[in-house]
Amino acid sequence: MKRGMLGSLLVIACCSSALQAAQDSGVRMLAAHAACDGSLFKALAADAPRWQGEKSFARRGPLASFRVANRTPPEAYGGPATLDFKRARRIDGLPLSGWFDADLSAWSRFARFEVQFLSWGFYIDATPADVRDWLRRAAPAVGRRLQRSSADKEGVYCVQERWQDERWQAEACSADEDFPTEPRPVRWLVIRPADTRTVLSCELAGSLPAPLLHQLRPDLPH
C-alpha cells in the first residue's frame, strides 16, 4: 500500500513538473514575442510540443514560425495573412487562438519614400486590458513601458522605438499605422482590439538594412 501511494505521488510530481515546464516555455515564448527583437522564433521552437497537430507550425533548425497563405495581402488583418489555430493554446491564462504575418511594403506607395512595413503576431481571446495586465505581470521589462497610444480610440497600447545611432531608442507611442515621416526604422509592440479578440503584434516600418531585418525576422529567407 505504501509503495503504491509512493508511486502515485511520484507520478503526480512528475506530471506537475512537466506541466510547469510546458507553462514556463509558453510564458517565455510569449514574453519573447513582446520584446519584438527576433527572439520569438527560437523560443517558439523550444515551445514546439504545445503546437503538436498544428499544420501551420513550421520548424526549421533552431527556429520556428507559422505559415500563412499569403504574406502580402491587400489588408493588414484578416484574409490570407491570417490563420486560426485548430484549437486555442492557453498560456498562463491567455488563450492564443490565431496568428498573422503580413508584409505590407507595397503600401509604401502612400509614403514619400520607399519603406518596408512588416506586421506579425498572435490573436488572443481576451481584452486589450487583459493582455496589457498579463505583460505587466509576466514580462515587466516590456509591460511597464506600455503606453496608451495617442491615436487610441478603442484601447490601444504600445511601445515605440526608433533605430538611431545603431540602437533602438524609445519614443512617445502613436501606433496609428501611418508610415513614418522619415526612413529611419521604427518598431512597435502593439496591443489592439480586433473584433472580439485582441491582437498582440510586432510592427516594423522604414528603410530596413538587411542585417537589422535578419535580426528581427530570422525566420524569413534572406
pLDDT of residue 112: 62
CA-closest candidate to residue 23, choices 15, 33, 35 = 15
pLDDT of residue 13: 35
Percentage above 70 pLDDT, the chain: 78
Q: What is the mean pLDDT of the chain?
A: 84
pTM (two decimals): 0.85
pLDDT of residue 173: 84
pLDDT of residue 159: 95
CA–CA dist 212, 216 (Å, integer): 6
Q: At residue 33, what is the residue type?
A: H
Is pLDDT at 116 greater than 50 in this prediction?
yes
Report which of residues 43 and 72 the model is more confident about. Answer: 43
CA–CA dist 171, 205 (Å, integer): 14
Which whole number is the average pLDDT over 133-156?
Answer: 86
pLDDT of residue 20: 45
Q: Is 122 helix (H, G, I), strand (E, B) or coil?
A: strand
Residue 42, all three cell numbers: 527560437
CA–CA dist 174, 192 (Å, integer): 12
Q: At residue 144, what is the residue type?
A: R
Backbone angles phi, psi at 194, to 5 degrees: -140, 90
Distances (CA, A) of 218 to 60, 146, 207: 11, 25, 17
Report which of residues 179 and 85 the model is more confident about. Answer: 85
Q: Out of 19-28, 47-56, 119-128, pick the least confident.
A: 19-28
CA–CA dist 7, 75 (Å, integer): 56
Grade residue 12 by pLDDT with cuts at 50, 70 and 90. Answer: very low
Grade residue 72 by pLDDT with cuts at 50, 70 and 90. Answer: confident
Q: What is the pLDDT of residues 150-193, one digit of tens each?
A: 665 667 999 999 999 999 999 988 755 555 567 889 999 999 99
Which whole number is the average pLDDT over 204-211?
Answer: 90
The DSSP code for 164 is: E
Name residue, grid cell 497610444. 149
Residues ≥6 apart with Cβ < 8 Å to 120: 99, 100, 101, 102, 201, 202, 217
CA-closest candidate to residue 47, choices 32, 37, 34 = 32
Per the CB < 8 A criterion, the answer to whether 158 and 175 are in contact is yes
pLDDT of residue 154: 66
pLDDT of residue 197: 96
Domain boundaries, the chain: 2-216
Per the CB < 8 A criterion, the answer to whether 161 and 186 are in contact is yes
Q: What b/e string do you get for 168-197 counting C-beta neighbours within 10 Å, with b at 16 or more?
A: beeeebbbebebbeebebbbbbbbbebeeb
Residue 62, all three cell numbers: 533552431
